[in-house]
Amino acid sequence: MVFTRYMLLAVSKRDNEDDRTLGELFYIMISEVADITYHESMQIIVEAILATVQEEFHIADAQVETFYAKFMSKLPESM
């Protein structure tokens, strides 16, 4: 019982002193400066790879599409 009381006091003290514990206000402020999503970053990388492959190897659009399909099939499902 005493331990629980000290835990609650410690949490309360931290909530009052640490700005990172502002809860909803913290998340509202962070959402305004959201970075690009994982999906968007992967799309940028894949587009850069495809453009580079086409420029360096001078291949046709159909070959790029085939390369893209093979590349995507080899990625894990989570990506």
Cα-based distances in Å from 5 to 11, 15, 64: 10, 15, 64
* Res. 12: pLDDT tops 80: no
What per-residue confidence (pLDDT) applies to 48? Answer: 94
Q: Which tops the pLDDT comparison, 73 or 14? A: 73
Written as six digits, the tokens of 41 are 């970053």
Q: Residue by residue, what is the 3-state secondary structure of the chain?
A: CHHHHHHHHHHHHHHHHCHHHCCHHHHHHHHHCCCCCHHHHHHHHHHHHHHHHHHHHCCCHHHHHHHHHHHHHHCCCCC
